[in-house]
Amino acid sequence: MLGRKGRPKVERSSLRSLYSRIFRHRKSIAAGIVALILVDGLQLIIPQILRKLIDGLAAGTAQSDFIWRMGLSVVAIAIGIAFCRFFWRVFIVGSSMRLERDLRAEFYSHLQKLPAQYYDNTRVGDIMAHATNDINAVRMAAGMATIASFDAIFMSAASIVMLLLIDVRLTLITMIPLPLIALMMTKFGGVLHDRFEAVQKAFSGLSEKAQESLSGIRVVKAYGDEVSERKLFAERARSCVDENVRLTRIWGFMQPLVMGLAMMSSALLLLVGGRSVIGGSISLGQFVAFSSYLAMLTWPMMAIGWVVNLLQRGAASMGRLERIMNTEPAITDGPVEGEPSPAIEVRNLHFTYPGTDTEVLKGISFELPASSTLGIVGRTGSGKTTLVELLMRLYDPPEGTVYIGGTDVRQHRLSDLRGLFGYVPQETFLFALSIAENIAFGAGDLPDSRVRRLADIAGIAGEIEGFPQGFETMVGERGVTLSGGQKQRVAIARALAVNPRILVLDDSLSAVDTETESAILDNLKIEIAGLTNVIIAHRISTVQNADLILVLDRGRLVEKGTHRELLEKDGYYAELYRMQQLEAEAERSRGGGDR
Amino acid sequence: MPPHHGSPFVDDTIEGKGYDGRLVRRLLSYVAPHRKLVILAMLFMVVSTGVELLLPYITKQGIDKYLAKLYQVYSDTPAACDELMALEPGEGDFLRLSPDTVMVRKASLEGMDPGMVHSLESSGGLLRDTYYLFPGDRFQGEAGRLQNGTWLVPEGELSSIPPGVLFDIRGDDVKGITRLAVFFIGLLILSLFAGYGHVMTLVIAGQRSMYDVRTALFNHIQTLSLNFFSKNPVGRLVTRVSNDVEALNEMFSAVLVNLVKDLLLIFGTISILLFMNWKLALISLSVLPVFAFVSILFRRKVREAYRRVRKHLAELNSSIAEDVSGVKVVQAFRQEGSRRARYLSINENYFSASMKQLYIFGVFRPAINVIAQTGTALVVIYGGLGTISGAITIGALVAFLSYVQQMFRPISDMSEKYNIMQSAMASSERIFAIMDTRAEITESPGAAPPTTLEGRVEFKNVHFAYEKDTPVLRDISFSVEPGRSIALVGPTGAGKTSIISLLTRFWDVDNGGILLDGTDIREHFQETLRRNIAIVLQDAFIFSRSVADNISLSSDLTMDEIRQASDMVQATDFIERLPKGFDTVMAERGATLSTGQKQLICFARALAHDPRILVLDEATSNVDPTTEQLIQKAIETLMRGRTSLIVAHRLSTIQKCDEIMVIDSGRIMERGTHQELLARRGIYYNLYLLQWGEQFKKEGP
């Protein structure tokens, strides 16, 4: 049945791993199944009671105390059913929720291990779709499909036994239409699935079109292109309509047909069973009971198709999740333990981002002893950020190119390596936490005084204290929106909080004005004196005291040396320096930083 | 920044009323054009529901009329028998065996006044024993007795008669039950088609209505001003057009129509019950108030629990989204552990909220079932007692039981449908809120008919702010003669882009005016602006349409004209290298093209529209030297003979303009030619050194 044309290709392995996940909760699920079977068993007793009642009434032997007894036992059984129902819900559905919780945890933990390059090639939206839709489908397969299949198996088995006990021939005849239901459900299931997918596709086509068209609203408006965009959107909306109607053509027929086939059993009962009653081979009461048991068979027959569907979807989703969870984290621990000394060496480093074919770094080599400062300058897109991200192994450099403490970075344990660094990225990313928590982000618990001190060094303490909630102010949607400059300074405090041996400042003061920048830098100088520093900057003034300055251009190291050496070279760096001197003069002549 | 804002994974609130007459009426106005289909659907539904209700009744008829053909003996004085016979309830109901004996059909007692039945019984005339009656000449002595030429077989002794004899005697009953079964099958087939017709017509009507809502909504959004777009992220608007409309559809198909069906079923069942036996009906319905009370209580609990689950789920999702977006920071700071702990605790909260919801369902669902079963039990007890007293037939009791069990299903379904209803109401409220937003930029009533302009542009004391109290442009005045060009330069955020946005009427000025050929742009027909102004935006926007379509957009340009425009900006070369040349359909946002190529297509687009006025917001992105040269040439081609307003970043572009205007903080700071401004040694001079110093050095001033 699986893997047939028209069905989603479900690999056996994903189905197996779905089952093995369900199997982890076997005890609770088994208890739930027991409760479920009890419910079904009790449910079977009700027609028995009704039969006894009708027979008693028909025979005229029924007395009022008998009738009362029958009525009260209906209530008693209903209460029994209610109890067992509660338990199977809690046991089986509860297990599926536990499974969901564990799966989420596992999925998340794996996502964390995947390197930045994985996220460069995967959209956040896709990951979210896995985290929502796929996990849901797995839960449904574990919960609802388990319930429905055991329920269906037991109910149909029990009902058939009861039917057979009443009359074998009648059972066989009246059951003729029922397997047809199961057959139909499985037969059309594949087509149904395809059409359902087509509906989904049409729907996402519609969303995409709306997304594009509304994003380009300026162009649309400027060129008066509304009409043609409308037409295109209407086309997508029309295909949504068509696909839905196409789906309904099958789905809409199945529902009544299943009901019809089930009722056909009743018709057969009336025809054949009625003769048996007339012929005296079964009593009127048995006839009535027979009809109830027959009605009980309808649901399991419908359930079979549903279960098959749920399991298929669950397995397909499990497959997708597994594919992600089986993606080996490309960047893993090396064998060398212990914290390396913060000396950096780069040897003929060429780097191309995985999955692309443009080389962004072309043969970079330099050496930086511990406790010295490296300055990197160059235009946007020259490879500066890539270079520092390779030092921390946010991306993996080729083997034998990047050394920290004399050992290839790929040989270090990740936590040892990254533990050296305090990183202030170019694009500031703060979390939806309080400012204090953001500052202490990498350091765990920090005393308030330390947080305050770090903020002070980064030149942001005063501004934070001006907020109504001070350091407890939430960042993000439910808190204040910090300005670019404020965020950058919080990020600097965050980097200092981890007591780094290597501090990386990637254009970290681009959003503050020159005066604030120099004030912060003066402060920092004292703090970072003993550290190895890597400073990327646009302003020469920021890096001119560095022990080594690299000038990058389109991935190449064009110049390298100290400020003095580079000025003497009278190349690109010297040019840049003179220009910025001019600029500074111009600023001064205009009377300060009034832009 | 944390990615919460406008994230599609954070649910919109699910608050809201379950039913709002105003909204429903408005929704129905979209259904109205398809009312024929809806009426047809209703007809189909009435048929299929009718059949559904009729089927148990047919079974009852079969049992009473043909299967349980049972009679009771009534013996009294001939006068009393005459009196009874005079009632003549129906054919074959009363048979006079002898002057003092009447055989009374058990089923017929149901139709009689229970009081009278009771008096017949209590007088001792009507006996309880039930008999099958067969013709006396067939009496063979296996069972029963012969009385006045009629063979009376007690119900319990029927099985001792050989089936062959029975079928022979009861030939009419067999025929009758066969006829009934055939009728039953006929009805089934009818209901099958009616059911299919119901679903099909309903889906078609619903889908078409939603199509109307969707296109109307989309078309309306298109007419709204950019002000609206700046306040509503595109993602949110897309959700309105896609998911919210889908929620309406769900309500339409799952609720509105099934609601009618359910109500019909409920009231139909209740009427049949009342008609069959009103006393028993009332007794079985007595559980309804309890049922309703528990359902309402349940609904409230469920809603609270659901809200908590959604809240935790939203947290869970935004937490994943945040950590995935900030993965570099998490890894660089080795905070995988702490972030994981945080995520796991949210996960745990979500789990316990889900479990709580599960417990609520676990308690209430079965409770509701117990109440429904109590209704059945009441029927068993009172109906059973009624059967003994003869107030009700067994067949009626059987039918009654099945009707009662059938009645509670739609009632409990209704509370579930309430949830769908609620979210649909919230969706429709959001949809209509957009529909009620009026476009701020509208056609002036006295607008001149579309004309071709000469191209004189004048800004007169223009003031403008996107948000109150943060002015972006202050007192901007300048004019450009037809065919002349002006470059706008200045730092980011100075207001350059705002100036060109106002010229194209993306926004309207707060104060002052913009004149085209001496007439305020608000007095021009919008078509005039479109016909005469072409704009090239910074982000070269490419639609997922063919290249030719991207150039011509909605104007009817011939392929030659398109090609000519593309030739002039030298884009034909790379376009023809695409798999299908000009007919190549672009990926979303032109993803397969390079930035430079996209820009060239946008230039071709502007050129193909042959505007009098060119508005260009130059992109700053770096492109390779070859493309750079192509772009520079293309800009030159575009400017030729046109009034041009250019937000310029390239030195080459600036130098090509007749005049340069330096904008800073929303004001015009300097104006003049390149040489004049350099000589002034002012802002332009500084900017120039800063941005183009390198080139300056190479090329010389």
Interchain pair B167, A275: CB under 8 A: yes
A313 lies in the same domain as A343: no
Backbone angles phi, psi at A546, to 5 degrees: -65, 155
Q: Give chain A positions within 8 Å (CB) of B384.
A: 53, 57, 62, 64, 67, 70-71
- The structure tokens 């009336």 sit at A270
Q: Give chain A positions within 8 Å (CB) of B55.
A: 263, 266
A396 lies in the same domain as A529: yes
**Residue A340 near residue A405 (C-beta atoms within 8 A):** yes
A204 lies in the same domain as A317: no
User: What's the mean pLDDT in A419-425?
Assistant: 91
Say whether pLDDT at A5 is over 50.
Answer: no
Question: Edge-to-edge strand order for the sheet containing A402-404?
Answer: A407-408, A402-404, A344-352, A359-368, A556-561, A548-553, A373-378, A532-536, A502-506, A421-424
Among residues A499, A529, A549, the one where a domain terminates is A499
How far lies A364's CA from each of A239, A351, B106, B282, in Å?
A: 54, 9, 106, 91
Between residues A73 and B67, which one has the greater pLDDT?
A73
Say whether pLDDT at B368 is over 50.
Answer: yes
Domain containing residue B75: 70-169
User: What's the mean pLDDT in B23-49?
Assistant: 87
- Shortest CA gap A292–chain B (Å): 9
For the record, the structure tokens of B181 come out as: 């079964």
**Residue B602 near residue B571 (C-beta atoms within 8 A):** no
Say whether pLDDT at B347 is over 90.
Answer: yes
Bridge-based pairing of strands B101-105 and B70-75 is antiparallel
Question: Which residue is closest to B401 within chain A, CA to CA?
Answer: A50
A511 lies in the same domain as A567: yes
Q: What CA–CA distance (Å, rounded) separates A519 from A524?
A: 9
Q: Give chain B positions within 8 Å (CB) of A416.
A: none
A473 lies in the same domain as A439: yes
Please tell me the predicted confidence (pLDDT) of residue A584: 64
Closest partner CB to B215 (pick from A77, A79, A237): A237
End-to-end alpha carbon distance in chain B = 43
Q: Give chain B positions within 8 Å (CB) of A258.
A: none
Radius of gyration of chain B (CA): 42
Q: Give chain B positions within 8 Å (CB) of A278.
A: 66-67, 166-167, 170, 173-174, 177
**Residue B91 near residue B220 (C-beta atoms within 8 A):** no
- Residue B252 in domain: no
Among B110, B318, B404, B543, which would you mutate to test the A interface (most chain A Cβ atoms within 10 Å of its Cβ)?
B543
Q: Report H helices in B453-525.
A: 496-503
Among B10, B63, B64, which would you mutate to test the A interface (most chain A Cβ atoms within 10 Å of its Cβ)?
B63
Interchain pair B348, A101: CB under 8 A: yes
A251 lies in the same domain as A180: yes
Say whether pLDDT at A6 is over 50.
Answer: no
Question: Which residue is closest to A215 within chain B, CA to CA?
Answer: B234
A157 lies in the same domain as A38: yes
Number of A–B residue contacts, CB under 8 Å:
424
Among residues B169, B201, B230, the one where a domain terminates is B169
- Residue B92 in domain: yes
For residue A449, what is the domain's CATH number?
3.40.50.300
Segment A246-279, tens digit of pLDDT? 988 888 887 788 778 878 888 888 888 888 888 7
Question: What one-letter code names the amino acid at B161?
Answer: I
- Residue A299 in domain: no
Say whether pLDDT at B135 is over 60.
Answer: yes
Interchain pair A124, B324: CB under 8 A: yes
Q: Give chain B positions within 8 Å (CB) of A39.
A: none
- Residue A1 in domain: no
Among residues B131, B154, B169, the one where a domain terminates is B169
Please tell me the predicted confidence (pLDDT) of residue B9: 36
Q: Give chain B positions within 8 Å (CB) of A255.
A: 195, 199
Q: What CA–CA distance (Å, rounded) separates A426 from A492?
A: 11
A360 lies in the same domain as A315: no
User: Residue B112's pLDDT band (boundaries 50, 70, 90)?
Assistant: low
- Shortest CA gap A132–chain B (Å): 8
Provide the number of structural domains found in chain B: 2
A406 lies in the same domain as A546: yes
- Shortest CA gap B234–chain A (Å): 6
> Which residues lie closer than 8 Å to B275 by C-beta, 6 or more apart?
none
For the record, the structure tokens of B278 come out as: 């009103």
- Residue A135 in domain: yes
Q: What CA–CA distance (Å, rounded) separates B371 from A81?
A: 12
For the record, the structure tokens of A294 come out as: 């027959």
Closest partner CB to B330 (pick from A94, A112, A275): A112
DSSP string of B550-592?
HHHTTS---HHHHHHHHHHTT-HHHHHHSTTGGGPBPPGGGTT
- Residue B390 in domain: no
**Residue A315 near residue A398 (C-beta atoms within 8 A):** no
Question: Which residue is closest to A573 within chain B, CA to CA?
Answer: B694
Say whether pLDDT at B118 is over 70.
Answer: no
By residue count, chain B amounts to 701
A145 lies in the same domain as A73: yes
For the record, the structure tokens of B689 come out as: 């050194």
Q: Give chain A positions within 8 Å (CB) of B9.
A: 128, 132
- Residue A580 in domain: yes
Neighbour count for residue B278 (Cβ, 10 Å)? 10
- Shortest CA gap B632–chain A (Å): 21
Q: To the nearest whole percent, how much of chain A has pLDDT over 90?
A: 29
- Residue B402 in domain: no
A399 lies in the same domain as A449: no
Interchain pair A476, B362: CB under 8 A: no
Taking the whole predicted model, whether its pTM rises above 0.80 is answered as no
Among residues B118, B134, B169, the one where a domain terminates is B169
User: Residue B110's pLDDT band (boundaries 50, 70, 90)?
Assistant: low
Question: Which residue is closest to A87 within chain B, CA to CA?
Answer: B362
Angle between helices A26-59 and A94-113 (to 10 degrees): 160
Please tell me the predicted confidence (pLDDT) of residue B256: 64
Looking at chain B, the number of H-run helices and the number of E-run strands are 27, 16
By residue count, chain A amounts to 595
Interchain pair B609, A49: CB under 8 A: no
**Residue B607 near residue B637 (C-beta atoms within 8 A):** yes
Closest partner CB to B347 (pick from A101, A279, A423): A101
Provide the number of structural domains found in chain A: 4
**Residue B574 near residue B592 (C-beta atoms within 8 A):** no
Residue-averaged pLDDT of chain A: 84
Residue-averaged pLDDT of chain B: 82
- Residue A296 in domain: no
End-to-end alpha carbon distance in chain A = 72
User: Residue B96's pLDDT band (boundaries 50, 70, 90)?
Assistant: confident
**Residue B551 near residue B609 (C-beta atoms within 8 A):** no
Say whether pLDDT at A593 is over 60.
Answer: no
- Residue B7 in domain: no
Domain containing residue A555: 334-420+500-595
Please tell me the predicted confidence (pLDDT) of residue B263: 82
Please tell me the predicted confidence (pLDDT) of residue A254: 79
Segment B587-641, tens digit of pLDDT? 776 767 777 888 889 999 999 988 899 999 887 555 666 777 888 888 888 888 8
A59 lies in the same domain as A141: yes
Backbone angles phi, psi at A475, to 5 degrees: -95, 140
**Residue A565 near residue A406 (C-beta atoms within 8 A):** no
User: Residue B355's pLDDT band (boundaries 50, 70, 90)?
Assistant: very high
- Shortest CA gap A190–chain B (Å): 20
Q: What CA–CA distance (Å, rounded) separates A95 from B17?
A: 34
